[in-house]
Amino acid sequence: MSNRDSSKKLLENVRSILPIIKQGAEASERDGQLQEEVLEALFEQRLFRLFIPEKYNGEATDLVTALKVFETIASADGATGWLVMIGAGGGLFSGFLEEAAAREIFSPERALIAGSGMPSGLAKPSNQGFEVSGRWKYASGSDYATWFTANCVVEGTEKKILSIAVPAAEVVRHQTWKVFGMKATGSHDFSVDSVEVPKAFTFSLSEKPLLSDPIFFCSLEVLAYLTFTSVAIGIAQHALDAFTAFAQQRPIQDTATSLLDTSPVQQQCDQAQQFLAKARNQLYQGAEHVWAVAQQKQTLSAELTQKIHQELIEMVQSCVQMADGLKTRSGMLAVFENTPFSRAWRDLHTLSQHSMLTPKME
């Protein structure tokens, strides 16, 4: 099967499980974690394995196709799209770990990584590797993770950063994710206390990858910008779809005309769809360029990375503004937590607060 046919089949499979995701979204938000039938559907389609190489029982999916997967799922439910994106993104680390460790972590069919990029731990050199203690925030998918990755400062160095991988059994989860959006991501804190981490289970993304798959030449920074934005576009599409369905059924008082039939609302919806089409095109053009560079086993320049970052920040903030514009015409639809529009609007606002997507202060 060609790469194009394989990508087409994957996206068809993703679309086939959207009804399951939509049906479970309200309960997932209420419970603060994905419903079992949703999680099983994601595992069945191997969506957490998109960036794991075939060598470790993965799907080795190209970047553009993966972004389309994240966007499509987020168009059904933002939290689910975010969790698939974060879970799949953990596969990037497989290219930087020694083979035996990478096989142990990533080869199991239900392997799932959660973690944090903040250097909130301390790694003390020991005979076998490092003794690690620390606490980290915002580990999306922590309820289902089989392994956790985290960054530490190495004791006795000038803030040298070391990445570690520890099994879930050695991690303490803290129920800290009390938020108004993205509730089902379960992005709780986690900690370890004097855990021995063998050297083979440490890595550095700043070093040359040990495998040659193109995905390992996409920096985590660039990958985050692109994947976060794909989820944002999906959620914005969800908000527009939910609003359109509402406006189509909402009659104007004392008339047979629906809210959607009024010229201002129809124009607003048309403009929103045009914006999303343009944003989607810009995102995938950028991703194709990043992937072409990665296929040459090269990384983007700092200047181009900064340009992409700024463009995608503006894109995400524009998605928020688009959803806010719809909210002004949604009446009480936006305030009830059990409506799809409210959930999409809140999820989008929560995503946009991520530190990597916040406009820089001048």
Same domain, 260 and 176: no
Residues 17 and 134: their CA atoms lie apart, in Å, by 38
Domain boundary, last residue among 153, 169, 203:
203
Q: Give the residue among 184, 210, 136 at the shortest CA–CA distance from 351.
A: 184
Residue at 184: amino acid letter: A
Q: Give the residue among 42, 98, 95, 44 at the shortest CA–CA distance from 69.
A: 42
Q: Between the CA of residue 53 and those of 58, 67, 81, 98, 270, what are the distances in Å? A: 5, 17, 21, 14, 41
113: buried, middle or exposed (CB in 10 Å: 19+, 13-18, 0-12)? buried
Structural domain contains residue 305: yes
**Strands 188-198, 113-125: pairing kind:** unpaired
* Residue 255 token pair: 């008339």
**Strands 202-203, 188-198: pairing kind:** unpaired
Q: Give the residue among 192, 187, 112 at the shortest CA–CA distance from 152.
A: 192
Number of domains in the chain: 3
Terminal-to-terminal C-alpha distance of the chain: 50
Domain that holds residue 32: 3-94
Spatial contact of 285 and 321, defined as CB atoms under 8 Å apart? no
Residues 98 and 118: their CA atoms lie apart, in Å, by 22
The pLDDT value given to residue 1: 54
Residue at 316: amino acid letter: V
Same domain, 11 and 127: no
Give the number of C-alpha atoms closer than 13 A to the C-alpha of residue 91, restricted to the C-beta side: 32
> Which CATH number fits the domain that encloses residue 244?
1.20.140.10
The values of phi and psi at residue 170, to 5°, are -100, 5
Taking residue 110's Cβ as centre, other Cβ atoms within 10 Å add up to 11
The pLDDT value given to residue 4: 62
How does pLDDT run along the chain (362 residues), one tens digit per residue?
556 678 999 999 999 999 999 999 999 999 999 999 999 999 999 999 999 999 999 999 999 999 999 999 999 999 999 999 999 999 999 999 999 999 999 999 999 999 999 999 999 999 999 999 999 999 999 999 999 999 999 999 988 999 999 999 999 999 999 999 999 999 999 999 999 999 999 999 999 999 999 999 999 999 999 999 999 999 999 999 999 999 998 888 777 788 888 989 999 999 999 999 999 999 999 999 999 999 999 999 999 999 999 999 999 999 999 999 999 999 999 999 999 999 999 999 999 999 999 877 65
The pLDDT value given to residue 257: 82
Same domain, 222 and 352: yes
Spatial contact of 40 and 20, defined as CB atoms under 8 Å apart? no
> Which CATH number fits the domain that encloses residue 74?
1.10.540.10
Same domain, 223 and 353: yes
Structural domain contains residue 208: no
Residues 141 and 187: their CA atoms lie apart, in Å, by 6
Helix (H, G, I), strand (E, B) or coil at 296: coil
Structural domain contains residue 211: no
The pLDDT value given to residue 265: 93
Same domain, 352 and 295: yes
Structural domain contains residue 105: no
Same domain, 46 and 85: yes
Same domain, 191 and 223: no
Same domain, 74 and 17: yes
Domain boundary, last residue among 40, 67, 94:
94
Spatial contact of 108 and 146, defined as CB atoms under 8 Å apart? yes
Q: Which residue has the tokens 């560079």?
A: 293
Helix (H, G, I), strand (E, B) or coil at 96: coil
Structural domain contains residue 196: yes
Spatial contact of 137 and 189, defined as CB atoms under 8 Å apart? yes
Q: Give the residue among 355, 282, 351, 300 at the shortest CA–CA distance from 81.
A: 351
Taking residue 325's Cβ as centre, other Cβ atoms within 10 Å add up to 14
Taking residue 283's Cβ as centre, other Cβ atoms within 10 Å add up to 24
Structural domain contains residue 100: no
Spatial contact of 353 and 182, defined as CB atoms under 8 Å apart? no
